[in-house]
Amino acid sequence: MSGVLGLDTPTSSGGGLQVSRANVVAVANQKGGVGKTTTAVNLSAYLALGLRVLLIDLDPQANATSSLGLERDSGAPSTYEVLIGQVPLSEATISSGRPRLDVAPASRALAGAQVELVDLPDREQRLRAAVGAMRDRYDVMLVDCPPSLGILTLNALVAADLVLAPVQCEYLALEGVGQLMETLELVRATLNPRLELLGMVMTMYDPRTRLSSQVVDEVRRHFPRRTFETVIPRSVRLSEAPSHGKPVLEYEPTSRGAGAYADLAQELLQRGLLR
């Protein structure tokens, strides 16, 4: 398959790019409700038009799982069983029902992982160990993180090669970003020196307010090379799609929100997602 994203599929036979090991991308920001799940789900859907994608849901809220119409707490193994070492990631992975898009669903039990992992060895390295065996099967793995910098997000940052941080266009947006940057530095200095910030993506942009464009300008001024060109607008379609169990690409592909996530997928590839 070629050209859906304007690029050759790296796994296609007969030349073109060759990707042997998938990059792991953590979609992270300790702030709640900034668009992490919306970004993880919709990017996964667009990237899966041409790439083999695994979406790993690491949030006990399991919003990424349900946003794709998949049942949470189905009784099948989830990322919880993976983190506590009961099953390998391959056994918790299911098809999303869409070509090339697989999901490792979350379950409510994940909420207890914080406490249970304390007594287990290498508690921050559990996801990293789990994704290792899957890197040859996918072109990219996206991890949807919960809104905290606890052990679950830490597992994602230790497993990740790249971080994608959604930042909501709102007052004091930069304050939360500072804390995230400190955490990234700390992880880089200790557990994962290869961790890189792929970029920040501004979300819920409202062109009618001056605040939105001021926030985008301010974040760009502070992180000129680390802010995506693509800005995700506030879009009712994006907020409705999860309740239909669909990414916006299926729910309303001609909406502005859909176009923005298609652009973001394209920009991600240009920024070196597939190095």
Ligand X SMILES: Nc1ncnc2c1ncn2[C@@H]1O[C@H](COP(=O)(O)OP(=O)(O)OP(=O)(O)O)[C@@H](O)[C@H]1O
Q: Which of 100, 234, 248, 273 binds ligand X (CB under 6 A)?
A: 234
Q: Which of 24, 53, 201, 204 binds ligand X (CB under 6 A)?
A: 204
Determine phi and psi for 124, rounding to 5 degrees.
-90, -10
Q: Which of Mg ion, ligand X, none lies near 181, with the C-beta cut-off 5 to 8 A by kind?
A: none
Residues 52-111 that bind Mg ion (CB under 5 A): 63
**Count residues contacting Mg ion (CB under 5 A)?**
3
Residue 40 CB, nearest distance to Mg ion (Å)?
8
CA atoms within 13 A on the CB side of 40: 35
Q: Which stretch binds ligand X (CB under 6 A): 31-39, 50-58, 127-135, 188-196?
A: 31-39
256: Cβ contacts below 8 Å, ≥ 6 apart: 233, 235, 237
Q: What's the Rg (C-alpha) of the chain?
A: 17
59 makes contact with ligand X (CB under 6 A): yes
232 makes contact with ligand X (CB under 6 A): yes
37 makes contact with Mg ion (CB under 5 A): yes
203 makes contact with ligand X (CB under 6 A): yes
| CA proximity to 254, closest of 237, 230, 234 | 237
34 makes contact with ligand X (CB under 6 A): yes
36 makes contact with Mg ion (CB under 5 A): yes
Cβ pair 250, 240 in contact under 8 A = no
Cα 151 to Cα 60, 64, 112, 129, 178: the distances in Å are: 12, 19, 11, 15, 19
Residue 29 CB, nearest distance to Mg ion (Å)?
9
**SS3 state at 162:** strand
| CA proximity to 41, closest of 103, 106, 128, 109 | 103
Nearer to ligand X, 147 or 245 (CB): 147
* Contact residues: Mg ion, CB under 5 A: 36-37, 63
* Contact residues: ligand X, CB under 6 A: 32-38, 59, 61, 63, 147, 203-204, 232, 234-235, 238-239, 242, 257
